[in-house]
């Protein structure tokens, strides 16, 4: 294992401390819990947007705290859910007096702990609702979409919820728009090589030098199939085919695209992917309103990438393009 770290057991605390110290105008530690990050300038009189999940995925989850995005975030250990107490603290710190929408990925531990935390704060008078993002095509069939994992599409959900909240929508209205975004989201990814958890010291899975895995999860969950590595255009063609088979898109539709590095894949390769994605959507007369290319939802140093598609209507487009203040999101 080669990593630029100190003691493996201090990996999470030191990384989030560095994040806060690097961007003190955006992030602050919650006073009651050092595993909770909130906005340094707390908002008032708006719906709070809260998330949380395991470490190892920066910028997800913590990096998306900021104006027009998340109000607070609970930070778990590497690839592990935050505790109920951490999530309850995040909800309290994200509460601005108008209720809190929790936006999280579809992982058993996260869902269970958020549900228990919401029950705790309910007794304190904080109203909550929950959106469980489920954009990962590879993890379940379209008929079982609610069972799908939440991966890079989470960031679109954060942005839509945060913008709606900043614009003065009620908790019910923010929930409805974010639910629409989740229903309009699809993601498919491919892993090229594994990652190493700092406290484990060995790869989470093995792939041959000429092998890739389509649909592997961000924690190393099994994907759809393992195949031989091929030229980028052929790979992108196959991934887009999976998206179009799962997702009803037609001529004149408008979308936003995210080409996301799982950690180690460089921007040059991502832009080769983006070039091909743009060609495919152009041939189908589907307008790409906005493309995002970079590291948005990672898995430590895993090599690979994912393609996310958000189908837009006027309300989703407005929320997506609204101003936000976050080091990891450029409008």
Chain Cα centroid distance, residue 201: 25
62 with 20: CB under 8 angstroms? no
Kind and range of the H or E element at 102?
Answer: strand 100-105
Strand-strand pairing, 303-312 and 185-193: antiparallel
Cα–Cα dist 290/143, whole Å: 29
The residue whose two tokens read 């859910």 is: 81
Burial annotation 202-233 (CB, 10 A radius, 16+ → b, else e): ebbeebeeeebbbbbbbbbeebeeeeeeeeee
DSSP-assigned letters across all residues of 27-62: EEEETTEEEEEEESS---SS-EEEEEEEESSTTTTG
Q: Which pair of tokens denotes residue 292?
A: 């995002």
Report which of 106, 189, 109, 115 is spatially closest to residue 148, judged by C-alpha positions: 106
Rounded CA separation 20/13 (Å): 11
Residues labelled catalytic = 57, 219
Cβ proximity of 62 and 73 under 8 Å? yes
In the chain, which ranges are continuous DSSP H helix?
Answer: 11-22, 84-94, 108-122, 153-166, 171-183, 232-246, 267-283, 314-321
Task: Assign 142 to helix, strand or coil.
Answer: helix
């Amino acid at each position: 294992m080669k990593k630029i770290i100190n003691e493996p057991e201090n990996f999470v605390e030191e990384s989030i401390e560095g994040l806060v110290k690097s961007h003190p105008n955006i992030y602050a530690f919650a006073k009651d819990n050092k595993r909770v990050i909130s906005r340094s300038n707390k908002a008032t009189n708006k719906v709070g947007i809260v998330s949380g999940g395991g470490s190892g995925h920066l910028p997800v989850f913590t990096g998306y705290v900021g104006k027009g995005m998340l109000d607070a975030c609970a930070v778990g250990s590497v690839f592990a859910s935050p505790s109920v107490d951490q999530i309850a603290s995040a909800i309290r710190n994200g509460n601005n007096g108008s209720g809190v929408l929790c936006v999280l990925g579809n992982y058993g531990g996260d869902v269970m702990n958020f549900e228990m935390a919401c029950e705790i704060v309910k007794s304190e008078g904080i109203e909550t609702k929950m959106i469980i993002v489920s954009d990962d095509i590879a993890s379940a069939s379209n008929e079982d979409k609610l069972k799908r994992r939440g991966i890079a599409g989470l960031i679109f959900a954060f942005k839509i919820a945060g913008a709606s909240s900043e614009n003065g929508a009620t908790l019910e209205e923010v929930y409805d728009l974010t639910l629409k975004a989740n229903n309009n989201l699809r993601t498919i990814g491919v892993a090229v090589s594994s990652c190493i958890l700092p406290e484990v010291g060995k790869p989470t899975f093995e792939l041959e030098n000429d092998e890739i895995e389509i649909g592997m999860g961000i924690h190393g969950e099994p994907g759809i199939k393992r195949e031989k590595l091929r030229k980028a255009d052929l790979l992108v063609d196959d991934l887009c085919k999976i998206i179009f088979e799962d997702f009803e898109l037609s001529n004149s539709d408008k979308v936003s695209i995210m080409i996301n590095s799982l950690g180690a894949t460089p921007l040059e390769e991502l832009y080769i992917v983006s070039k091909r994605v743009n060609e495919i959507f152009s041939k189908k007369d589907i307008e790409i309103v906005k493309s995002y290319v970079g590291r948005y939802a990672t898995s430590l140093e895993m090599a690979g990438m994912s393609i996310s598609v958000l189908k837009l209507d006027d309300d989703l487009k407005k929320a997506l393009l609204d101003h936000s203040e976050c080091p990891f999101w450029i409008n």
